[in-house]
Amino acid sequence: MPKFALKALWLENDLAIAVDQVVAKNRSPLTHYFFWPRDDAWEQLKAELESKTWISEVDRIELLNRATELINYWQNGGRNRPISEAQAQFPDILIGGNS
Amino acid sequence: MSRFTAADVGFTTEDFAALLDKYDYHFSPGEIVAGTVFSVEPRGALIDIGAKTAAFLPLQEMSISRLEDPHEMLQPGETREFFILTEENEEGQLTLSIRRIEYMRAWERVRQLQKEDATVRSTIFATNRGGALVRIEGLRGFIPGSHISTRKPKEELVGEELPLKFLEVDEDRNRLVLSHRRALVERKMNKLEVGEVVVGTVRGIKPYGAFIDIGGVSGLLHISEISHDHVDTPHSVFNVNDEVKVMIIDLDAERGRISLSTKQLEPNPGDMIRDPKLVYEKAEEMAAKYREQLLAAKQGQAAEVPPEVVEEELEYAAAAVE
Protein backbone atom coordinates (compact mmCIF):
# COMPACT_ATOMS: atom_id res chain seq x y z
CA MET A 1 0.00 0.00 0.00
CA PRO A 2 1.45 3.38 -1.02
CA LYS A 3 2.30 5.79 1.75
CA PHE A 4 2.23 8.89 -0.41
CA ALA A 5 0.05 10.10 -3.26
CA LEU A 6 -0.11 13.08 -5.55
CA LYS A 7 -2.91 15.57 -5.74
CA ALA A 8 -3.37 17.71 -8.83
CA LEU A 9 -5.42 20.60 -10.08
CA TRP A 10 -6.07 21.62 -13.67
CA LEU A 11 -5.88 25.42 -13.74
CA GLU A 12 -6.43 27.83 -16.60
CA ASN A 13 -2.77 27.97 -17.65
CA ASP A 14 -1.00 25.73 -15.19
CA LEU A 15 -0.97 22.37 -13.56
CA ALA A 16 -0.77 22.38 -9.74
CA ILE A 17 0.74 19.37 -7.96
CA ALA A 18 0.95 18.61 -4.23
CA VAL A 19 1.83 15.54 -2.15
CA ASP A 20 -0.37 13.93 0.49
CA GLN A 21 0.67 11.33 3.00
CA VAL A 22 -1.77 8.44 2.91
CA VAL A 23 -2.66 6.31 5.93
CA ALA A 24 -5.51 3.86 5.70
CA LYS A 25 -8.08 5.96 3.81
CA ASN A 26 -6.89 9.23 5.22
CA ARG A 27 -4.98 11.79 3.18
CA SER A 28 -2.90 14.24 5.17
CA PRO A 29 -1.27 17.20 3.39
CA LEU A 30 2.52 16.89 3.11
CA THR A 31 3.37 19.82 0.82
CA HIS A 32 1.85 22.94 -0.66
CA TYR A 33 1.09 23.17 -4.39
CA PHE A 34 3.80 23.39 -7.04
CA PHE A 35 2.97 24.89 -10.42
CA TRP A 36 3.87 23.88 -13.93
CA PRO A 37 4.89 25.34 -16.35
CA ARG A 38 4.90 28.72 -14.59
CA ASP A 39 7.37 27.35 -12.04
CA ASP A 40 9.49 24.27 -12.38
CA ALA A 41 7.15 22.13 -10.31
CA TRP A 42 9.24 19.01 -10.75
CA GLU A 43 12.51 20.55 -9.52
CA GLN A 44 10.74 22.22 -6.60
CA LEU A 45 8.98 19.01 -5.66
CA LYS A 46 12.29 17.15 -5.79
CA ALA A 47 13.96 19.70 -3.51
CA GLU A 48 11.04 19.60 -1.08
CA LEU A 49 11.07 15.80 -0.89
CA GLU A 50 14.85 15.72 -0.47
CA SER A 51 14.61 18.17 2.41
CA LYS A 52 12.42 15.64 4.21
CA THR A 53 15.16 13.14 4.89
CA TRP A 54 12.79 10.72 6.58
CA ILE A 55 11.16 9.95 3.20
CA SER A 56 12.88 6.96 1.64
CA GLU A 57 14.61 7.25 -1.69
CA VAL A 58 12.32 4.62 -3.20
CA ASP A 59 9.21 6.62 -2.24
CA ARG A 60 10.77 9.85 -3.44
CA ILE A 61 11.69 8.44 -6.85
CA GLU A 62 8.27 6.85 -7.24
CA LEU A 63 6.55 10.16 -6.53
CA LEU A 64 8.79 12.09 -8.90
CA ASN A 65 8.25 9.55 -11.67
CA ARG A 66 4.51 9.81 -11.20
CA ALA A 67 4.76 13.60 -11.31
CA THR A 68 6.70 13.32 -14.57
CA GLU A 69 3.97 11.13 -16.09
CA LEU A 70 1.28 13.58 -15.02
CA ILE A 71 3.17 16.60 -16.34
CA ASN A 72 3.72 14.81 -19.66
CA TYR A 73 0.05 13.91 -19.90
CA TRP A 74 -1.02 17.49 -19.14
CA GLN A 75 1.55 18.89 -21.55
CA ASN A 76 0.59 16.58 -24.40
CA GLY A 77 -2.99 17.76 -24.69
CA GLY A 78 -4.34 16.38 -21.42
CA ARG A 79 -4.91 19.92 -20.21
CA ASN A 80 -7.65 20.37 -22.78
CA ARG A 81 -9.35 17.04 -22.17
CA PRO A 82 -12.00 16.49 -19.50
CA ILE A 83 -10.68 15.90 -15.99
CA SER A 84 -12.65 12.66 -15.81
CA GLU A 85 -10.37 11.26 -18.54
CA ALA A 86 -7.26 12.25 -16.62
CA GLN A 87 -8.74 10.76 -13.47
CA ALA A 88 -9.29 7.44 -15.27
CA GLN A 89 -5.70 7.50 -16.49
CA PHE A 90 -4.28 8.31 -13.04
CA PRO A 91 -6.62 6.65 -10.51
CA ASP A 92 -4.12 7.09 -7.67
CA ILE A 93 -3.94 10.87 -8.13
CA LEU A 94 -6.73 13.05 -6.80
CA ILE A 95 -7.45 15.42 -9.68
CA GLY A 96 -9.59 18.54 -9.45
CA GLY A 97 -10.11 21.82 -11.21
CA ASN A 98 -12.22 23.36 -13.88
CA SER A 99 -14.58 21.61 -16.34
CA MET B 1 30.96 10.58 14.79
CA SER B 2 33.32 8.96 12.32
CA ARG B 3 35.68 11.87 12.86
CA PHE B 4 36.63 10.52 16.29
CA THR B 5 39.10 7.87 15.35
CA ALA B 6 41.73 6.16 17.43
CA ALA B 7 44.02 9.07 16.66
CA ASP B 8 41.96 11.34 18.92
CA VAL B 9 43.96 10.50 22.04
CA GLY B 10 42.84 12.24 25.20
CA PHE B 11 39.14 12.00 24.53
CA THR B 12 37.85 11.18 27.96
CA THR B 13 34.46 9.94 29.14
CA GLU B 14 33.90 13.47 30.52
CA ASP B 15 34.46 14.88 27.06
CA PHE B 16 32.09 12.30 25.73
CA ALA B 17 29.40 13.26 28.26
CA ALA B 18 29.85 16.94 27.44
CA LEU B 19 29.57 16.16 23.78
CA LEU B 20 26.39 14.22 24.34
CA ASP B 21 24.91 17.17 26.22
CA LYS B 22 25.92 19.49 23.45
CA TYR B 23 24.17 17.37 20.89
CA ASP B 24 21.17 16.59 23.09
CA TYR B 25 18.70 18.26 20.84
CA HIS B 26 16.33 20.54 22.66
CA PHE B 27 12.82 20.28 21.26
CA SER B 28 10.87 23.56 21.30
CA PRO B 29 7.14 24.04 20.92
CA GLY B 30 6.24 25.17 17.40
CA GLU B 31 8.88 23.07 15.71
CA ILE B 32 8.11 20.40 13.15
CA VAL B 33 10.09 17.19 13.55
CA ALA B 34 10.07 13.75 11.97
CA GLY B 35 9.16 10.82 14.20
CA THR B 36 8.21 7.19 14.10
CA VAL B 37 5.04 5.74 15.56
CA PHE B 38 6.01 3.52 18.46
CA SER B 39 2.63 2.32 19.65
CA VAL B 40 -0.98 3.24 18.99
CA GLU B 41 -3.42 3.25 21.88
CA PRO B 42 -7.13 4.12 22.03
CA ARG B 43 -6.55 7.61 23.45
CA GLY B 44 -3.36 8.50 21.66
CA ALA B 45 -0.06 7.32 20.27
CA LEU B 46 3.51 7.19 21.49
CA ILE B 47 6.00 8.63 19.06
CA ASP B 48 9.75 8.32 18.90
CA ILE B 49 11.18 11.66 17.82
CA GLY B 50 14.64 11.08 19.26
CA ALA B 51 13.87 12.60 22.65
CA LYS B 52 14.77 10.81 25.88
CA THR B 53 11.17 9.77 26.41
CA ALA B 54 8.63 8.81 23.76
CA ALA B 55 6.40 11.80 22.96
CA PHE B 56 2.63 11.63 23.29
CA LEU B 57 0.17 12.41 20.49
CA PRO B 58 -3.36 12.70 21.92
CA LEU B 59 -6.23 11.39 19.78
CA GLN B 60 -7.78 14.86 19.36
CA GLU B 61 -4.48 16.19 17.94
CA MET B 62 -4.16 13.46 15.31
CA SER B 63 -6.10 15.05 12.48
CA ILE B 64 -8.39 17.81 11.26
CA SER B 65 -10.88 15.05 10.54
CA ARG B 66 -12.73 13.45 13.39
CA LEU B 67 -11.29 10.00 14.00
CA GLU B 68 -13.13 7.11 15.57
CA ASP B 69 -9.99 5.07 15.92
CA PRO B 70 -6.37 6.28 15.91
CA HIS B 71 -5.51 3.50 13.46
CA GLU B 72 -7.38 5.46 10.78
CA MET B 73 -4.50 7.92 10.94
CA LEU B 74 -1.45 6.07 12.25
CA GLN B 75 0.12 2.67 11.96
CA PRO B 76 2.95 1.47 14.23
CA GLY B 77 6.33 1.75 12.56
CA GLU B 78 5.23 4.55 10.28
CA THR B 79 7.30 7.72 9.94
CA ARG B 80 5.87 11.20 9.42
CA GLU B 81 6.14 14.77 10.64
CA PHE B 82 4.82 16.07 13.94
CA PHE B 83 4.28 19.51 15.41
CA ILE B 84 5.63 20.03 18.93
CA LEU B 85 2.70 21.33 20.90
CA THR B 86 4.05 21.64 24.45
CA GLU B 87 7.36 21.42 26.26
CA GLU B 88 8.39 18.37 28.19
CA ASN B 89 6.34 17.71 31.32
CA GLU B 90 7.84 16.48 34.62
CA GLU B 91 8.29 13.02 33.14
CA GLY B 92 10.18 14.50 30.23
CA GLN B 93 7.37 13.78 27.78
CA LEU B 94 6.53 16.14 24.93
CA THR B 95 3.04 16.53 23.49
CA LEU B 96 2.72 16.40 19.71
CA SER B 97 0.11 17.33 17.13
CA ILE B 98 -0.58 16.39 13.52
CA ARG B 99 -3.74 18.48 13.46
CA ARG B 100 -1.70 21.72 13.65
CA ILE B 101 0.41 20.69 10.67
CA GLU B 102 -2.69 19.78 8.70
CA TYR B 103 -4.26 23.16 9.45
CA MET B 104 -1.14 25.07 8.48
CA ARG B 105 -0.71 23.18 5.21
CA ALA B 106 -4.41 23.22 4.34
CA TRP B 107 -4.61 27.00 4.78
CA GLU B 108 -1.43 27.43 2.78
CA ARG B 109 -2.91 25.37 -0.07
CA VAL B 110 -6.21 27.20 0.08
CA ARG B 111 -4.42 30.55 -0.09
CA GLN B 112 -2.54 29.29 -3.16
CA LEU B 113 -5.80 28.21 -4.78
CA GLN B 114 -7.46 31.53 -4.05
CA LYS B 115 -4.51 33.35 -5.59
CA GLU B 116 -4.96 31.24 -8.73
CA ASP B 117 -8.71 31.93 -8.63
CA ALA B 118 -9.01 28.17 -9.08
CA THR B 119 -12.28 26.33 -9.40
CA VAL B 120 -12.52 23.45 -6.93
CA ARG B 121 -15.19 20.79 -6.64
CA SER B 122 -16.62 19.71 -3.33
CA THR B 123 -19.63 17.90 -1.95
CA ILE B 124 -22.06 19.59 0.39
CA PHE B 125 -22.16 17.72 3.71
CA ALA B 126 -24.63 19.91 5.58
CA THR B 127 -26.90 22.90 5.11
CA ASN B 128 -28.14 25.52 7.54
CA ARG B 129 -30.32 28.60 7.32
CA GLY B 130 -27.51 30.72 5.92
CA GLY B 131 -26.16 28.35 3.30
CA ALA B 132 -24.22 25.13 2.84
CA LEU B 133 -21.06 23.54 4.24
CA VAL B 134 -18.29 21.80 2.29
CA ARG B 135 -14.74 20.60 2.92
CA ILE B 136 -11.87 22.14 0.96
CA GLU B 137 -8.42 20.64 1.60
CA GLY B 138 -9.90 19.25 4.81
CA LEU B 139 -11.04 22.67 6.03
CA ARG B 140 -14.66 23.58 6.58
CA GLY B 141 -15.93 26.01 3.98
CA PHE B 142 -19.18 27.94 3.83
CA ILE B 143 -21.25 28.80 0.75
CA PRO B 144 -23.74 31.61 1.50
CA GLY B 145 -27.25 30.86 0.23
CA SER B 146 -27.06 33.81 -2.17
CA HIS B 147 -24.05 32.16 -3.83
CA ILE B 148 -25.72 28.82 -4.52
CA SER B 149 -27.22 28.74 -8.02
CA THR B 150 -29.34 25.67 -8.25
CA ARG B 151 -33.07 25.25 -8.47
CA LYS B 152 -33.06 22.46 -5.90
CA PRO B 153 -34.39 23.36 -2.48
CA LYS B 154 -31.56 23.83 0.00
CA GLU B 155 -32.57 20.79 2.07
CA GLU B 156 -31.92 18.51 -0.91
CA LEU B 157 -28.41 19.79 -1.55
CA VAL B 158 -26.60 17.49 0.86
CA GLY B 159 -24.47 15.08 -1.17
CA GLU B 160 -24.45 17.39 -4.20
CA GLU B 161 -21.03 18.07 -5.74
CA LEU B 162 -20.58 21.66 -6.90
CA PRO B 163 -17.87 23.64 -8.70
CA LEU B 164 -16.78 26.45 -6.39
CA LYS B 165 -14.64 29.56 -6.38
CA PHE B 166 -13.15 31.35 -3.39
CA LEU B 167 -14.75 34.47 -1.95
CA GLU B 168 -12.84 34.83 1.30
CA VAL B 169 -9.83 33.03 2.76
CA ASP B 170 -8.87 34.27 6.22
CA GLU B 171 -6.93 31.90 8.45
CA ASP B 172 -6.81 34.29 11.43
CA ARG B 173 -10.58 34.57 11.57
CA ASN B 174 -11.03 30.96 10.44
CA ARG B 175 -13.19 32.09 7.54
CA LEU B 176 -13.32 30.13 4.31
CA VAL B 177 -16.16 31.34 2.11
CA LEU B 178 -16.95 29.99 -1.36
CA SER B 179 -19.26 30.76 -4.24
CA HIS B 180 -21.00 28.35 -6.54
CA ARG B 181 -22.44 31.22 -8.54
CA ARG B 182 -19.02 32.65 -9.40
CA ALA B 183 -17.81 29.26 -10.65
CA LEU B 184 -20.89 28.83 -12.84
CA VAL B 185 -20.96 32.37 -14.11
CA GLU B 186 -17.30 32.23 -15.03
CA ARG B 187 -17.79 29.08 -17.04
CA LYS B 188 -20.80 30.62 -18.74
CA MET B 189 -19.08 33.97 -19.22
CA ASN B 190 -16.30 32.38 -21.21
CA LYS B 191 -18.94 31.59 -23.80
CA LEU B 192 -20.79 34.91 -23.65
CA GLU B 193 -20.00 38.29 -25.11
CA VAL B 194 -21.15 41.81 -24.48
CA GLY B 195 -23.56 42.76 -27.26
CA GLU B 196 -24.83 39.20 -27.67
CA VAL B 197 -28.56 38.43 -27.68
CA VAL B 198 -29.66 35.42 -25.63
CA VAL B 199 -33.00 33.79 -24.92
CA GLY B 200 -33.90 33.49 -21.27
CA THR B 201 -36.69 32.87 -18.82
CA VAL B 202 -37.90 35.25 -16.13
CA ARG B 203 -37.12 33.54 -12.81
CA GLY B 204 -37.88 36.26 -10.33
CA ILE B 205 -39.14 39.83 -10.20
CA LYS B 206 -37.91 42.36 -7.66
CA PRO B 207 -38.75 46.07 -7.38
CA TYR B 208 -35.31 46.88 -8.86
CA GLY B 209 -35.45 44.52 -11.82
CA ALA B 210 -35.99 41.03 -13.17
CA PHE B 211 -33.73 37.99 -12.79
CA ILE B 212 -33.43 36.13 -16.08
CA ASP B 213 -32.15 32.59 -16.34
CA ILE B 214 -29.92 32.29 -19.39
CA GLY B 215 -28.91 28.69 -19.82
CA GLY B 216 -28.44 27.87 -16.15
CA VAL B 217 -27.03 31.12 -14.83
CA SER B 218 -28.92 34.14 -13.65
CA GLY B 219 -28.52 37.64 -15.06
CA LEU B 220 -30.07 40.88 -13.85
CA LEU B 221 -32.23 42.99 -16.10
CA HIS B 222 -32.19 46.18 -14.04
CA ILE B 223 -35.40 48.24 -14.08
CA SER B 224 -33.49 51.09 -15.75
CA GLU B 225 -32.46 48.72 -18.57
CA ILE B 226 -35.97 47.49 -19.44
CA SER B 227 -37.12 50.40 -21.60
CA HIS B 228 -36.29 53.94 -22.65
CA ASP B 229 -39.69 54.86 -21.24
CA HIS B 230 -40.24 55.00 -17.50
CA VAL B 231 -41.07 51.66 -15.89
CA ASP B 232 -42.82 51.80 -12.47
CA THR B 233 -42.31 48.15 -11.66
CA PRO B 234 -40.94 45.22 -13.69
CA HIS B 235 -44.30 43.52 -13.02
CA SER B 236 -45.93 45.83 -15.55
CA VAL B 237 -43.74 44.34 -18.31
CA PHE B 238 -42.90 40.76 -17.23
CA ASN B 239 -44.40 37.77 -15.49
CA VAL B 240 -42.44 34.94 -13.92
CA ASN B 241 -41.72 32.17 -16.49
CA ASP B 242 -42.01 34.57 -19.45
CA GLU B 243 -39.62 33.69 -22.23
CA VAL B 244 -37.63 36.77 -23.19
CA LYS B 245 -34.82 37.95 -25.42
CA VAL B 246 -32.17 40.05 -23.75
CA MET B 247 -28.83 41.53 -24.70
CA ILE B 248 -25.74 41.17 -22.52
CA ILE B 249 -24.39 44.60 -21.64
CA ASP B 250 -21.87 43.70 -18.94
CA LEU B 251 -19.99 40.64 -17.64
CA ASP B 252 -18.42 41.03 -14.22
CA ALA B 253 -16.48 37.83 -13.50
CA GLU B 254 -15.11 39.20 -10.24
CA ARG B 255 -18.53 39.56 -8.68
CA GLY B 256 -20.18 36.86 -10.78
CA ARG B 257 -22.68 39.28 -12.29
CA ILE B 258 -24.24 39.36 -15.73
CA SER B 259 -26.07 42.56 -16.66
CA LEU B 260 -28.81 42.43 -19.26
CA SER B 261 -30.84 44.91 -21.26
CA THR B 262 -33.98 44.99 -23.36
CA LYS B 263 -33.85 48.80 -23.50
CA GLN B 264 -30.93 48.68 -25.94
CA LEU B 265 -32.97 46.39 -28.18
CA GLU B 266 -35.93 48.76 -28.59
CA PRO B 267 -36.35 49.94 -32.20
CA ASN B 268 -38.40 52.84 -30.83
CA PRO B 269 -38.31 54.12 -27.25
CA GLY B 270 -41.08 52.46 -25.24
CA ASP B 271 -41.55 49.41 -27.50
CA MET B 272 -40.88 47.07 -24.55
CA ILE B 273 -43.91 48.48 -22.76
CA ARG B 274 -46.19 48.54 -25.82
CA ASP B 275 -45.10 45.43 -27.72
CA PRO B 276 -42.24 43.26 -26.38
CA LYS B 277 -42.76 40.78 -29.26
CA LEU B 278 -41.72 43.43 -31.75
CA VAL B 279 -38.56 44.05 -29.71
CA TYR B 280 -37.73 40.33 -29.67
CA GLU B 281 -38.27 40.07 -33.44
CA LYS B 282 -35.83 42.88 -34.13
CA ALA B 283 -33.45 41.96 -31.32
CA GLU B 284 -30.58 40.62 -33.45
CA GLU B 285 -30.77 43.60 -35.79
CA MET B 286 -30.70 46.10 -32.91
CA ALA B 287 -27.89 44.19 -31.19
CA ALA B 288 -25.80 44.37 -34.38
CA LYS B 289 -26.23 48.17 -34.34
CA TYR B 290 -25.27 48.26 -30.67
CA ARG B 291 -22.09 46.32 -31.38
CA GLU B 292 -21.23 48.66 -34.25
CA GLN B 293 -21.66 51.67 -31.97
CA LEU B 294 -19.52 49.98 -29.33
CA LEU B 295 -16.80 49.31 -31.90
CA ALA B 296 -17.00 52.83 -33.30
CA ALA B 297 -16.73 54.25 -29.79
CA LYS B 298 -13.72 52.05 -29.15
CA GLN B 299 -11.94 53.04 -32.35
CA GLY B 300 -12.83 56.70 -31.99
CA GLN B 301 -11.43 56.82 -28.52
CA ALA B 302 -8.45 54.66 -29.28
CA ALA B 303 -7.30 57.33 -31.73
CA GLU B 304 -7.50 60.09 -29.13
CA VAL B 305 -6.69 58.69 -25.73
CA PRO B 306 -3.99 56.40 -24.37
CA PRO B 307 -5.05 52.74 -24.45
CA GLU B 308 -5.22 52.23 -20.67
CA VAL B 309 -7.98 54.83 -20.40
CA VAL B 310 -10.02 53.24 -23.18
CA GLU B 311 -11.17 50.26 -21.15
CA GLU B 312 -12.63 52.45 -18.44
CA GLU B 313 -14.17 54.91 -20.85
CA LEU B 314 -15.79 52.07 -22.72
CA GLU B 315 -17.52 50.79 -19.61
CA TYR B 316 -19.04 54.19 -19.04
CA ALA B 317 -19.91 54.41 -22.71
CA ALA B 318 -21.59 51.02 -22.57
CA ALA B 319 -23.61 52.08 -19.57
CA ALA B 320 -24.53 55.41 -21.10
CA VAL B 321 -25.33 54.39 -24.69
CA GLU B 322 -28.91 55.40 -25.34
Alpha helices in chain B (DSSP H): 13-22, 99-116, 180-189, 271-274, 276-281, 283-304, 307-320
Q: Is the Cβ–Cβ distance between B211 and B204 less than 8 Å? A: yes
B32 interfaces chain A, CB cutoff of 8 Å: no
Q: Give me the DSSP letters along B113-160.
A: HHHHT--EEEE--EE-SSEEEEEETTEEEEEEGGG---SS-GGGGTT-
Query: Comparing B77-81, B89-93, B127-131, B299-303, which segment has the lowest mean pLDDT?
Result: B299-303
CA distances (Å), B230 to each of B233, B242, B273, in order?
A: 9, 21, 9
pLDDT at residue B306 greater than cutoff 70: no
Partner-chain contact A24 B75, CB within 8 Å: yes
> How far is Cα B272 from Cα B260, in angstroms, rounded to an integer?
14
B74 interfaces chain A, CB cutoff of 8 Å: yes
B69 interfaces chain A, CB cutoff of 8 Å: no
ipTM: 0.93
Work out the burial of residue B144: count CB atoms within 10 Å of its CB; fewer than 13 is exposed, 13-18 middle, 19 or more buried.
middle
Nearest to B140 by CA among B154, B128, B156, B155: B128
Nearest to B118 among A11, A31, A99 (CB): A11
pLDDT tens figures, B177-219: 999 988 888 777 778 889 999 999 999 999 999 999 988 788 9
Structure pTM? 0.73
Domain ranges of chain A: 3-97
B135 interfaces chain A, CB cutoff of 8 Å: no
pLDDT at residue B280 greater than cutoff 50: yes
CATH of domain A3-97: 3.30.390.140
Rounded to 5 degrees, what are φ and ψ at B113? Answer: -65, -40
Check residue B262 and report its DSSP letter: S
Report pLDDT for B23: 65
To 10 degrees, the CA torsion angle through B186, B187, B193, B198? Answer: -110
pLDDT tier, B149 (very low <50, low <70, confident <90, very high otherwise): confident
Report pLDDT for B309: 42
Q: Which residue of A has its CA nearest to B137?
A: A29
Residues 6+ apart with CB under 8 A from B217: B149, B181, B184, B185, B188, B258
Nearest to A96 among B34, B101, B120 (CB): B120
Q: Give me the DSSP letters along B21-44.
A: HHTSPPP-TT-EEEEEEEEEETTE
